[in-house]
Chain A
Amino acid sequence: MSTTTAAVTHPTYGNWRRPRRAGLGRFGLVGTIGVFGGLVLTLLASLISLVAAAFVLVPFAVLLLPLLIRTQDGRNLYQLVMLRVGWLRRKSRGSLSYVSGPLSQRPGGRFRPPGLLSRVSLAEGRDAYDRPFGVLHHRGRNLYSIVLGCEPDGGSLVDPDQADVWVASWGEWLARLSHEPALRGASVVVETAPDPGTRLANEVLPRIRPDAPPAARAVMEEVVERYPDASSEMHTYITLTYGLPQGRKRDLEEVLTDLAIRIPGLLSGLVGAGGGSAVPLSAERIAEVVRVAYDPAVAGEVLNVRAQYGSSGLEWEDAGPAACVESVRAYQHDSGVSRTWLLSLAPRGTVRSNVLRGLLEAAPGTRRKRVALLYRPIDPATSARIVESDRRAAQFMATSGKGMVQARAASETRAAEQTAAEEAAGAGLVEFSLMVTMTVDSTEQLPDAAVIMRNLQAGARISMRPADRMQAAAFACTLPAGILPWEHVLIPHELQEAL
């Protein structure tokens, strides 16, 4: 039996590449233009005098050299320095801490989420099945996000064939996103936490009859008390962020109607992709998720209140922390300390579809863990252009180089050809990334979390770097609140590719 199953090949996945414009060596497109521009200017200056040439050459060299110094994942010295400068500036201004509530300077005296979430407002609409769904409006960028909650069965007990079908359907779902008009990005957030036990208590205790046999009551109470220690809970959220063209004004009602129409279609594909039954999250649920992320200690209480009264009554204005402090390596918020890691290298080589399982499953020793997979779908027209230009570049490299370069160029060509074939067969292009936030109870536990994280990323065959000096922002990105990191950078991502 086992020999026959081993003989069947199951698809592996790979061929992901870092989008980068070709350039001279490590320079990138902008650097290359800079080098040639500098050389031309130097030559022109050398017509005047050698001293003038030196005067032109030296600043260019100084400006261009940092582009040569790069980290493993392609960030250059400028980016690193800019991050530090920004950090020092914020530190000197005292922006590293945040205080909200009635005693703070925040208008209204409420507990608004800080930083990237401070301009977000939350509205609610009703979908085709009359279910409420929350819409996060990111005012500055005019983006609207919806959040879907789903309950996947997981791939651990289904046959590999079935899992392959699910994964392929997930790919189709992603491909559909690139046809979704005005979709700016999507994320899947998988959150794990120890079971606070309130869900169990709310399921069991209210149902115990007053005249129940004392022995039965004793056993049930013992179960309610003991089970949470060994249990964990897991939530999967999918956020979709839509943009409106800059400057175009649409009123909220119109946007809500538009989104309500799209929800059933988006949900339908998820069951087939192994996502289980999916429902949109109401505004209140979104606020609860954010609130609990900032203050993990209230997780049980929120569940409790919801179970008792049907709703928690939590509003977005109160979903933030009362106080938080950002430090270089950590982000302290109400009752937790978090650290976030960012993807630097996607799995090298090829992987099976269960590669992320270890990373997604509950990690003992942490208070909460959120794994966010970020997707930036590329529209079909742009995809076709990218694929073609990649292929041309690869072919050019293959025909111009020789020796060792030749072999590498050949594999580049193969990869580009494969991408082109897949694109032609109907697949979309997507850019993806990954962020992981771990929350622990105190700063002392952070080194342990880092060790756990190192093991997890090794298991997932990816490499990640801590989001140092931007922990607050990174924390917000792993919340199911529709924050797309590439929308909040200094240099637009189109230009970033060229750097």
Chain B
Amino acid sequence: MPPPRGWPGPAGGQIGHLDPPTMWRATTVQACGLWPFAAGSGAPMTGVPLGQHLYTGATVCGDPLSWFTRARYISNPSLFMLGMPGLGKSTLVNRMLIGLAATGVVPLVLGDLKPDYADTVRALGGQVISIGRGVGGINVLDPGAMAEAAAKVGGDAGRALAAEAHGRVLNMVAALVSVVRGRPMDDHEQSVLSAALHHLRERTAPGRAPILPDLLAVLQEGPERVRSVTLDRGEDARYRTAVDPLHRSLLGILDGPLGGTFAAATSTRIDAAAPAVCVDISRIGEADTQLTAAAMLAAWSDGLGSVAAAHALADAGLAPRRWFFTVLDELWRPLRAASGIVDRIDALTRLNRTLGLGDAKITHTLKDAEALGSESDRAKARGFVERAGMVACAGLPRNEMEELGRVVGLSEREISLVSSWSSPPGWGAGGGEHEEPPGRGRFLIKVGGRPGIPIKVAITDAERALHDTNQRWTPNAQVPATATAV
């Protein structure tokens, strides 16, 4: 055993007596002023690497799925992102898509309005489905992956899944009718529709999906099963009175603004086995709210059906378990498009844990929720932020931040920080390539009541090529070769 100050002798490393640092004396209510925790050391390191902590420089990792499943920071795998346009919101979400895709999670962009994600999904080797007039459509009567899975699973679970698939188709047609009518469907019409769909499925040859004109034909013919739910008591006139409004609405869908997109057989079905899926609805004009709403609803119905099917297959041990991550960018547009979408997103935010589905909702400001038609919709939309496990803010004006602070609890410093990011760049610098808004790529990530994590996202060269939301502003000479090839 060496002596207290180390081994004596050459190369023993013995040290001398210490001349200690000066000790200072104070009461503990004063000595605590030299607070050792003034600089934070904690930075979450679970999930997709996002960027560097603005103050400590530590690498920050995070995504709703990893924080929910592995780190258990949040109780609900969802992200709500707010921020002014052009500050890199979709860049950050694209990073999450890429990072999650690398770990085997399937990104689902069910309704890409810009498109911000189509290029990423394409680069990931995923499926990009375009919806729009003359571009591609969705067959709302196609039970899709769910029916297939039901057949594969078989037994009680299969029957339950088939029933679920039926319900989904029914809801979808009902939603389309509501979009056309601008009000919900009546209850007895729903039962007529349900009966007609049952009949239609029984008489359609396996392997072929019915289409909307087939449904009209069923109503036209009026088979016994459909007639019985209308209480026609054998009188054809009574039957016609009962089904005519529905008949008319369906005709309206076929011949009206939605017809070309939803009446034909699906051009491409969502493939839940693809590494990523993007339903690109950017070809639909912004003013075309009915078609936007219908397309989003259809994409959601089909996409969530695929998710349910994938989980059913995994439950039955027929396929490996896969998790999904959906992105709802420009949330304000679908919210305004149709009342039904608010409900659907609302249901999603409550059920995403059971669905095995993480989600990211992106919008500009909280005011987007205020623009909704009915008070109940507004309340639901406000609830999205409250229920989100993870809230990320890019630059926002001060009054917006104060508003947000009432929902998620922000400190004055956080509000000042984020509002400073929404200011424009200086006039001077000659407009060079490097002049960018002060808030570009900066985010404040809030989880519950904990102090926010301010990060700066650093994108890689590979991503920079992939993701450019300002593509249409690129001068002709610089159009990348990939863009022209598409």
Contact = CB atoms under 8 A, between A and B. Distances in A.
Interface of A: 1, 5, 11-19, 73-75, 79, 82-83, 86-87, 89-90, 93-95, 97-99, 104-106, 114-116, 118-119, 139-141, 150-160, 162, 166-168, 170-172, 174-175, 178, 188, 190, 195, 199-200, 203-204, 207-209, 211-220, 222-224, 226-228, 230-236, 273-276, 324, 326, 342-347, 351-357, 360-362, 371, 373-376, 378, 386, 419, 422-423, 425, 427-435, 467, 469-470, 472-474, 476-477, 485-486, 488-490, 493
Given A209-B102, A228-B59, A231-B52, A493 B39 contact: no
B427 interface: no
Contacts of B398: 1
Given A98-B13, A153-B450, A472-B13, A423 B36 contact: no
23 contacts: A95-B6, A95-B9, A95-B13, A98-B11, A154-B55, A158-B411, A159-B412, A170-B35, A188-B36, A212-B102, A219-B102, A219-B463, A226-B458, A227-B59, A344-B21, A354-B38, A356-B35, A373-B34, A374-B23, A427-B27, A427-B28, A488-B18, A489-B18
Nearest to B94: A219
Given A344-B22, A427-B27, A215 B462 contact: yes
A175 B31 CA distance: 10
A473 B48 CA distance: 42
Interface string B443-486: 01000001110100010111100100000000000000000000
Given A199-B59, A200-B45, 13 more contacts: A13-B32, A90-B15, A115-B6, A154-B38, A157-B417, A213-B275, A216-B101, A342-B21, A360-B39, A422-B27, A431-B24, A434-B34, A469-B16
Among B1, B4, B466, chain A packs the most CB atoms within 10 A around the CB of B4
A204 B56 CA distance: 21
A158 B413 contact: yes
Contacts of B125: 213-215
Contacts, number: 410
Nearest to B39: A360
Contacts of B25: 16-19, 378, 386, 429-432
B11 A105 contact: yes
Among B22, B56, B99, chain A packs the most CB atoms within 10 A around the CB of B22
Interface string B66-104: 000000000000000000000000000001001101111
Contacts of A219: 95, 98-99, 102, 460, 462-463
A171 B5 contact: no
> Would you list the 10 A-B pairs with minimal beta carbon distance, nearest first?
A13-B33, A154-B40, A98-B13, A171-B32, A94-B10, A151-B42, A114-B13, A342-B21, A234-B41, A152-B37
A409 to B, nearest CB: 19
Given A153-B451, A156-B55, A167-B35, A422 B29 contact: yes
B388 to A, nearest CB: 19
B432 interface: no
B428 interface: no
Among B41, B103, B398, B458, chain A packs the most CB atoms within 10 A around the CB of B41
B147 interface: no
Given A175-B28, A472-B13, A154 B411 contact: no
B26 A430 contact: yes
A154 B5 contact: no
B413 A86 contact: no
B316 interface: no
A275 B35 CA distance: 10
Contact of A140 (B4, B20, B49, B95): B4
A213 B39 contact: no
Contacts of B47: 203
A375 B34 CA distance: 11
A222 B461 contact: yes
Interface of A is mostly: mixed
A116 B276 CA distance: 59
A353 B35 contact: yes
Contact of B61 (A200, A213, A357, A472): A200
Given A195-B59, A213-B125, A355-B34, A433 B41 contact: no
Nearest to B12: A95
A204 B31 contact: no
B75 to A, nearest CB: 17
B208 interface: no
B373 interface: no
A214 B23 CA distance: 59
A490 B412 contact: no
Interface of B: 1-42, 45-49, 52, 55-59, 61, 95, 98-99, 101-104, 123-126, 275-276, 398, 411-414, 417, 444, 450-452, 454, 458, 460-463, 466
Nearest to A387: B27
Contacts of A114: 6-7, 12-13, 15
Contact of B16 (A90, A174, A477, A485): A90
Given A19-B25, A212-B101, A213-B125, A139 B15 contact: no
A360 to B, nearest CB: 4
Contacts of B29: 168, 171, 175, 422, 425, 427
Given A16-B31, A116-B6, A231-B58, A152 B102 contact: no
Contacts of B39: 152, 154, 156, 190, 234, 356-357, 360-361
Nearest to A224: B49
A324 B458 CA distance: 39
A233 B61 CA distance: 13
Nearest to A358: B39
Contacts of A158: 411, 413, 451
Nearest to B36: A188
A170 B35 CA distance: 8
B28 A236 contact: no
Contact of B23 (A160, A166, A224, A433): A433
A166 to B, nearest CB: 7
Contact of B40 (A156, A162, A427, A489): A156
Contact of A433 (B9, B10, B21, B30): B21
A286 B413 CA distance: 36
B23 A486 contact: yes
A87 B99 CA distance: 56
Contacts of B458: 226-227, 230
A86 to B, nearest CB: 4
B9 A94 contact: yes
A18 B24 contact: yes
Given A114-B6, A200-B61, A433-B24, A213 B33 contact: no
A95 B102 contact: no
B276 A168 contact: no
A234 B98 contact: no
Contact of B38 (A18, A356, A472): A356
B48 to A, nearest CB: 8
Contact of B33 (A167, A207, A218): A167
Among A140, A212, A486, chain B packs the most CB atoms within 10 A around the CB of A212
A171 B7 contact: no
Contacts of A485: 18, 20-21
A118 B56 contact: no
Contacts of B19: 75, 79, 82-83, 467, 470, 489
B17 A232 contact: no
A407 B96 CA distance: 65
Among A119, A157, A486, chain B packs the most CB atoms within 10 A around the CB of A157
Contact of A355 (B33, B37, B276): B33
B182 to A, nearest CB: 42
A472 B42 CA distance: 30
B412 A170 contact: no
A489 B20 contact: yes
A236 B37 contact: yes
Given A156-B40, A236-B36, A361-B55, A433 B102 contact: no
A3 to B, nearest CB: 13
A154 B41 contact: yes
A195 B460 contact: no
A353 B38 contact: yes
